């Protein structure tokens, strides 16, 4: 079992397209993955489960995975959340809130 804590930085939290993108990413791994927030726990591969957590900006969550690719799964999901919940395919979308940028970087 492998776990990491991360804070949601997206202005819109983890809803809609961001949640769907995260679930799609989670489903690429064989491990069982859960998101924990306060006293609630949801399957990170389930849209209904993730949305039921009502994750808003600044929520601290714990991602936990168990399985053959647990460390990679948690690491990639943490990176996704730290990026402001955007994936490479979202880069051109105007409705996605992007994570903080460093001056001089695109």
Six-digit token pair at 16?
């809609």
Place of tokens 């990170």: 44
What CATH number is associated with residue 64? 3.30.1340.10
* Any domain includes 95: no
Does 94 have pLDDT greater than 90?
A: no
What pLDDT, on the 0 to 100 scale, is given for residue 25? 96
Please tell me the pTM assigned to this model. 0.78
d(CA 3, CA 73): 10
**Nearest CA-CA partner of 3 in 84, 87, 73, 81:** 73
* Any domain includes 100: no
Does 88 have pLDDT greater than 80?
A: no
Decide if 71 contacts 4 (C-beta within 8 A): no
Q: What is the mean pLDDT of residues 36-64?
A: 96
* Any domain includes 62: yes
| Domain residue limits at 84 | 2-88
d(CA 6, CA 98): 17
How many domains would you assign to the chain? 1
* Any domain includes 12: yes
* Any domain includes 59: yes
């Amino acid at each position: 079992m492998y776990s990491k804590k991360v804070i949601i930085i997206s202005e819109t939290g983890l809803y809609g397209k961001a949640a769907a993108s995260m679930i799609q990413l989670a489903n690429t791994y064989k491990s069982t993955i859960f998101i924990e927030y306060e006293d609630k726990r949801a399957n990170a591969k389930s849209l209904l489960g993730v949305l039921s957590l009502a994750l808003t900006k600044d929520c601290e969550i714990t991602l936990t995975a168990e399985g053959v690719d647990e460390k990679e799964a948690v690491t990639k999901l943490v990176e996704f959340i730290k990026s402001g919940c955007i994936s490479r395919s979202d880069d051109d979308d105007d409705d996605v809130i992007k994570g903080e940028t460093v001056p001089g970087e695109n």
